[in-house]
């Protein structure tokens, strides 16, 4: 078994880029060698340690949703963070790959794009101003866009874009975004008998990130998102709690509203 990092490594913030009104990318040094899809535990001194996906080996892309991320938004170039990782598994792709991303879930998929592993990217957001990394993605692969309000690309959801392409043309389909979105993707893949080609990057409440505490375990098989994931195949997720509920800090179930994005929690990495 590979030794897991148990102590954070201090990194220095080298640049901060405002990507959207609520999302910023923090570039740091030294880099964290990793595979696309892996995550890190980010220690914000004096506040908390929370899981975050790497958008590159030297950056994390952060949405302001709670105390720890609010504290991060007050940091400046030259300030320090603690990074523990990389943790978990990443995307395993070859051949033609389709990426489907929404919101800040685009971050781990960007790492896959810049590695030259994506053929087509379906990008979704609520509105044009919230589209993440569109120019970078468009420069590396074929990009299609959907916005909820129709201010850019197709007027609708990113899952609607799936109806415009032949999913069977792709060897792998990598997905990250709000869970309610990812469930709709899995439903379409399963209907097309392609669930085994799907790779879904999950977000769950985490405490240790090492597979010890069990806070991110999923029913009914006890899959640990931090160690067995965060990337799971579509087959792994069928007949699980995926899309039905998550758990809060006490372990109590938090059910997803049927037609609306789930309430965000920093400890879930969203």
pLDDT digits (tens, 9 = 90+) for 141-180: 999 999 999 999 999 999 999 999 999 999 999 999 999 9
- Between CA 240 and CA 160 the distance in angstroms is 24
User: What b-and-e string marks burial along 171-190, b requiring 16 or more CB atoms within 10 Å of the CB?
Assistant: ebbbbbbbbbbbbbbbebbb
Residues sharing a CB contact under 8 Å with residue 144, sequence separation 6 or more, in sequence order: 120, 121, 122, 123, 153, 154, 161, 164, 165
Sequence spans of domains, the chain = 9-87, 97-268
pLDDT digits (tens, 9 = 90+) for 79-124: 999 999 999 999 999 999 999 999 999 999 999 999 999 999 999 9
- Between CA 191 and CA 186 the distance in angstroms is 8
**Any binding-site annotation on 176?**
no
Which pLDDT does position 186 carry in this prediction?
Answer: 97
**Any binding-site annotation on 208?**
yes
Q: What are phi and psi of 210, to 5 degrees?
A: -115, 0
Contact criterion met (CB below 8 Å) for 196 and 172 = no
- Domain at 9-87, CATH from 2.40.30.10, 3.40.50.150, 2.60.40.10, 3.40.50.720: 2.40.30.10
Q: Are strands 97-102 and 120-125 parallel, antiparallel or unpaired?
A: parallel
Instruction: For residue 13, give the nearest of 62, 76, 60 by alpha carbon.
Output: 76
Which pLDDT does position 259 carry in this prediction?
Answer: 45
**Any binding-site annotation on 226?**
yes
Q: Are strands 231-233 and 198-201 parallel, antiparallel or unpaired?
A: antiparallel
- Between CA 14 and CA 162 the distance in angstroms is 38
- Between CA 68 and CA 143 the distance in angstroms is 33
User: CATH second-level architecture of 97-268?
Assistant: 3-Layer(aba) Sandwich (3.40)
Residues sharing a CB contact under 8 Å with residue 197, sequence separation 6 or more, in sequence order: 167, 170, 171, 172, 173, 189, 234
Contact criterion met (CB below 8 Å) for 227 and 249 = no
pLDDT at 245 over 70: yes
**Any binding-site annotation on 216?**
yes
pLDDT digits (tens, 9 = 90+) for 49-88: 999 999 999 999 999 988 999 999 999 999 999 999 999 9
- Between CA 45 and CA 34 the distance in angstroms is 23
- Between CA 17 and CA 61 the distance in angstroms is 9
Residues sharing a CB contact under 8 Å with residue 244, sequence separation 6 or more, in sequence order: 255, 256
């Amino acid at each position: 078994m590979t030794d897991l990092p148990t102590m954070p490594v201090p990194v220095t913030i080298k640049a901060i880029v405002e990507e959207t009104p609520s999302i910023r990318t923090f570039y740091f040094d030294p880099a964290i060698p990793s595979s696309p899809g892996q995550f890190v535990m980010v220690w914000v001194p004096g506040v908390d340690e929370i899981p975050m996906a790497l958008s590159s080996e030297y950056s994390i892309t952060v949405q302001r949703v709670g105390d720890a991320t609010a504290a991060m938004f007050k940091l400046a170039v030259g300030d320090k963070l603690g990074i523990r990782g990389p943790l978990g598994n990443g995307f395993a792709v070859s051949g033609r790959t389709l990426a489907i991303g929404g919101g800040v879930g685009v971050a781990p998929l960007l790492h896959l794009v810049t590695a030259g592993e994506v053929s087509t990217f379906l990008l979704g957001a609520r509105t044009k101003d919230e589209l993440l990394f569109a120019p970078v993605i468009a420069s590396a692969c074929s990009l299609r866009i959907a916005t909820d309000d129709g201010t850019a690309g197709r007027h609708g959801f990113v899952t609607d874009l799936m109806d415009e392409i032949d999913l069977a043309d792709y060897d792998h389909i990598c997905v990250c975004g709000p869970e309610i979105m990812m469930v709709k993707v899995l439903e379409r893949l399963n209907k097309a008998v392609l669930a085994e080609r799907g790779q879904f990057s999950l977000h769950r409440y985490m405490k240790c990130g090492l597979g010890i505490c069990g806070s991110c375990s999923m029913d009914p098989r006890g899959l640990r998102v931090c160690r067995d994931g965060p990337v799971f195949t579509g087959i792994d997720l069928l007949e699980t709690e995926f899309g039905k509920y998550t758990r809060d800090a006490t372990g109590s179930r938090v059910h997803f509203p049927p037609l609306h994005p789930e309430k965000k929690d920093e400890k879930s990495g969203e």
